[in-house]
Amino acid sequence: MISRSPSLIGARVTRVEDARLLTGRGRYVADLDAPGAVHVAFVRSPHAAAHVGRIDVTRALAEPGVVACLTAADLAPLARPIRAESRTRGYRATDLGALASGVVRHQGEAVAAVVAESRYVAEDAADLVGVDWEPLPAVTDPRAAAAAGPFVHADLGTNVILEREFRTGEVEPAFRAATLVVADRFRFHRHAAIAMENRACLAAWDTGRGDLTLHSTTQIPGMIRDALADILDLPGHRIRVVAPDVGGGFGMKTILYPEEVAVAAIARRLGRPVKWIGDRREDLLTSSQAWDEQVDAELAVDGVGHILGLRATVLCDVGAYSMYPWTASIEAVQVISFLPGPYRVPAYRGAVQAVATNKAPMGPYRGVGRPVSAFVVEGLLDRAARRLQLDPGEIRRRNFVRPDEAPYRSASGVVWDTATFAECLERACRIADYEGLRRQQQEARAAGRSFGIGIASYVELTGVGSAIPASPGADISTGTEGATVRVDASGTVTATFAIASQGQGHETTLAQVVAGTLGARLGDVRVVHGDTAAGPIGSGTYASRTAVIAGGAAVRAAEAVRDKALVIAAHLLEASASDLDVADGVISVRGAGDRRVTLREVARAAYAAGRRLPHGLEPGLEATRYYDPYFGTASGATHIAVVEIDRAVAAVRLHRYVIAEDCGRVINPLVVEGQTIGGLAQGVGAALLEEVVYDGGGQLLTGTLLDYLVPMATDMPPITVEHLDRPSPSTLGGFRGVGEGGTIGAPAAIANAVSDALAPLGIEITELPITPERLFQLLAVC
């Protein structure tokens, strides 16, 4: 048959993006210029909750250089509120205007936009806008807010935006039959994404054509385009959304933000390009945040550690609004969807309440819910192991879904296409020299030191197809992506996608997939993405889906082009297509290498047509294909963290970190390792450093990067990552998603390592992050 250039898929090639990003030639939104552009500064609420009275813009308007001062009333005729609908029963949507009118519901919510010739002037003038605020009591405690008012959205008559329950098997009998029940209340505090590039957008309205172009730091240009068509009442083909180089997203940039709507509406109103470059303060105040759950969970096991039942009640503080497109269910429901982990859980009840408060809204962030579920279930397993005097590795071994049980429907209904969980654990233990670590621990303990080893195993669903919406009940399509592969008459290949990149290296990895499948040279393939005007329809990059879904579409489109190229080549070479090989841009007759044509010659024939094409064959050499993996595929891993506690200063020292993961067929080991370790760093931050803190009045206390701590280079341990490389049987290309896993496993592994280190003192970690202050308190009561 036909040989491709398969070695390209799996090759450790350096990234094509790097040349521009390393030389300062990247083009991020802030770097873009538009002739005549004006700058927006938003007037933001200092209060967590307030009635917005009169807004006085006269002084601001008088400032030289100010072009306009707009409030909700000015934008209302141009833009509908953002509203995230869901089919989920009992779900309550919230309206979010481009600018707040009447009421503000979290600190930082914008009530006016000042437009000026420069950003300096716009910010000056924003300070001159007078707003009659009438502060309202702030809702900040989700438990109290779930039970009674005041209500964040008075019209809803409740703060509970969503309730959901999963139930499998006979839960109560399982607990009655148990030899041991372990239970705890787990608390995972609020987290911020902190992409190094703040959110920004630039809207230009072409008055001649009636076209809107929005450059945005978004991860989901396709979804933003579709949503703006409704909100701005414009035909979709009049809107172009472009995500240029984007400086990190991690899920936080998968939301339609009010600033994007405001800037687009203002550009339309003023007929001038409008630019908003958010600063870090705005990011910390208004970008979507993550987690913030309290979980009451119980695990029932028999005398040898087999899981009999699991039950959990989750309270999730989802902040002030249910954001488009995911809704407030995304984080909350995901926790109960993934609590059963990679284990056989015969009886399960997971219930969640998503509660609105006067804080920045909750959104999807790397791992989405699963870092919390892993923290809880892995913590419970370790507690059970300790009580039963089992090794933590052993209790996992006894409960993993076995490879021969796959496809396996988990207790929450998620289907695992494969189950390489035990293999991940064994591999991680081998890399870490687990037995050796245990001996080291004994020596350390004998010497009075607190040395701990923590294991966390997890499984996530990646490349989620149309069978399960990425966000339960949300009215959006997240299961498909397209790819267009085109060979031009010069023989070079352009592959166009609707996904967008925030640093994942898709221009490289998708080029590897296309070149490898098509038989082209890697350098001849250019990937274009992040521009709704450029290619096929799709939604964007999120939920560890790009390698799987866009990668699958790339395989299909490249195969279609390759097959046509072979038909044309066969005609030119007077050979049979089945006798041809294609590699490195050359098609040759197998066994007669001198009978060959280049892809360029084939492409020229494809467009020149005439007698150079087989009779009746349509000219051209391009294909657009779509892909829906339907269920998606399981990505699993085991993490092992090694810590030592410096009790004198209440500090956790991360000594070493090991990950063995199964991301299916690896496209580029360099990129996979980068994704895994980058995700791990965010998990380390979540475990030890990062916490968004609001006071009881809803005032953000972590409004700078001095207060909100992300890991520095000195916070990271030596790391070893190994890939199992077990191609997924259920996705085209065999790829599995790998973007989030690092963040899922790390908080659990580190929490377990700290509990293990402090086990002689009877301390078990229930709250993340383990800040020095929390650790000090725990040590103080011993």
Q: Which residues of this protein are in contact with another protein, per CB under 8 A?
A: 14-15, 17-28, 30-31, 64-65, 120-121, 124, 194-198, 245-248, 250, 277, 279-280, 502-505, 670-671, 673-674, 677-682, 684, 704-706, 710-714, 716, 719, 742
Give the nearer residue to ligand FES in terms of CB position, either 392 or 679. 679
Q: To 10 degrees, what angle do helices 392-399 and 370-388 make?
A: 110
Give the nearer residue to ligand FES in terms of CB position, either 196 or 446. 196
Q: How far apart are CA 181 and CA 273, in angstroms?
A: 62
Q: Are residues 723 and 305 in contact, defined by beta-carbon separation less than 8 angstroms?
A: no
Interior/surface letters 127-165, b for 16+ CB within 10 angstroms, e for the rest? ebbebebeebebbbebeebbeeeeebbeeeebbbbbbbe
Q: Please report, to the nearest 10 degrees, the dihedral formed by the alpha carbons of residues 58, 63, 65, 70 taken in order.
A: -20
Give the nearer residue to ligand FES in terms of CB position, either 41 or 461. 41
Give the nearer residue to another protein in terms of CB position, either 156 or 710. 710
Give me the least distance between CB of 543 and ligand FES, in Å please: 20
Give me the least distance between CB of 593 and another protein, in Å please: 34
Give the nearer residue to another protein in terms of CB position, either 198 or 462. 198
Comparing every residue's Cβ against ligand FES, the nearest one is 196
Cβ-proximal residues to 546 (8 Å cutoff; 6+ apart), any chain: 481, 499, 504, 506, 510, 737, 739
Q: If contact means CB under 5 to 8 A according to the sort of partner, which of another protein, ligand FES, none does residue 342 touch?
A: none
Give the nearer residue to ligand FES in terms of CB position, either 470 or 671. 671
φ/ψ of residue 594, rounded to 5: -80, -15
Strand partners, 71: 112
φ/ψ of residue 634, rounded to 5: -85, 130
Give me the least distance between CB of 659 and another protein, in Å please: 11
Q: Count CB atoms within 10 A of the CB of residue 340.
A: 26
Give me the least distance between CB of 220 and another protein, in Å please: 16
Which residues are at the interface with ligand FES (CB under 6 A)? Answer: 196, 247-248, 503
- DSSP conformation class of 154: G
Strand partners, 202: 215, 275
Q: How far apart are CA 705 and CA 193, in angstroms?
A: 12
Q: Are residues 216 and 243 in contact, defined by beta-carbon separation less than 8 angstroms?
A: yes
- DSSP conformation class of 176: H
Give the nearer residue to another protein in terms of CB position, either 127 or 443. 127
Helix (H) or strand (E) holding 275: strand 274-277
Give me the least distance between CB of 162 and another protein, in Å please: 30
Give the nearer residue to another protein in terms of CB position, either 23 or 490. 23
Give me the least distance between CB of 31 and another protein, in Å please: 4
Q: What does 718-757 look like in DSSP terms, one character per residue?
A: PEEEEE-----TTSGGGB---SSHHHHHHHHHHHHHHHHH
Give the nearer residue to another protein in terms of CB position, either 279 or 423. 279
Give the nearer residue to ligand FES in terms of CB position, either 677 or 759. 677
Q: If contact means CB under 5 to 8 A according to the sort of partner, which of another protein, ligand FES, none does residue 719 touch?
A: another protein
In 169-248 the beta strands, taken as DSSP E runs, fall at 180-192, 200-206, 211-216, 239-242
Give me the least distance between CB of 502 and ligand FES, in Å please: 8
**DSSP H helices in 40-170:** 58-62, 72-75, 119-126, 142-147
Give me the least distance between CB of 690 and another protein, in Å please: 11
Q: Which of 676, 677, 705, 673 is nearest to 692 (CA)?
A: 705
Give me the least distance between CB of 680 and another protein, in Å please: 6
Give the nearer residue to another protein in terms of CB position, either 247 or 392. 247
Q: How far apart are CA 534 and CA 547, in angstroms?
A: 19
Q: If contact means CB under 5 to 8 A according to the sort of partner, which of ligand FES, another protein, none does residue 671 touch?
A: another protein
Q: If contact means CB under 5 to 8 A according to the sort of partner, which of another protein, ligand FES, none does residue 170 touch?
A: none
Give me the least distance between CB of 674 and another protein, in Å please: 5
Give the nearer residue to ligand FES in terms of CB position, either 249 or 551. 249
Which 3 state secondary structure label does DSSP give 528? strand
Give me the least distance between CB of 748 and ligand FES, in Å please: 25
Q: If contact means CB under 5 to 8 A according to the sort of partner, which of ligand FES, another protein, none does residue 633 touch?
A: none
Q: If contact means CB under 5 to 8 A according to the sort of partner, which of ligand FES, another protein, none does residue 167 touch?
A: none
Q: If contact means CB under 5 to 8 A according to the sort of partner, which of another protein, ligand FES, none does residue 388 touch?
A: none
Q: Count of H helices and E strands in the chain? A: 20, 31
Q: If contact means CB under 5 to 8 A according to the sort of partner, which of another protein, ligand FES, none does residue 626 touch?
A: none
SS3 per residue for 325-354: CCCCHHHHHHHHHHCCCCECCCCEEEEEEE
Give me the least distance between CB of 718 and another protein, in Å please: 9
Q: If contact means CB under 5 to 8 A according to the sort of partner, which of another protein, ligand FES, none does residue 379 touch?
A: none
Q: If contact means CB under 5 to 8 A according to the sort of partner, which of another protein, ligand FES, none does residue 369 touch?
A: none
Q: Which of 217, 632, 584, 592 is nearest to 407 (CA)?
A: 632
Q: If contact means CB under 5 to 8 A according to the sort of partner, which of ligand FES, another protein, none does residue 532 touch?
A: none
Q: If contact means CB under 5 to 8 A according to the sort of partner, which of another protein, ligand FES, none does residue 31 touch?
A: another protein
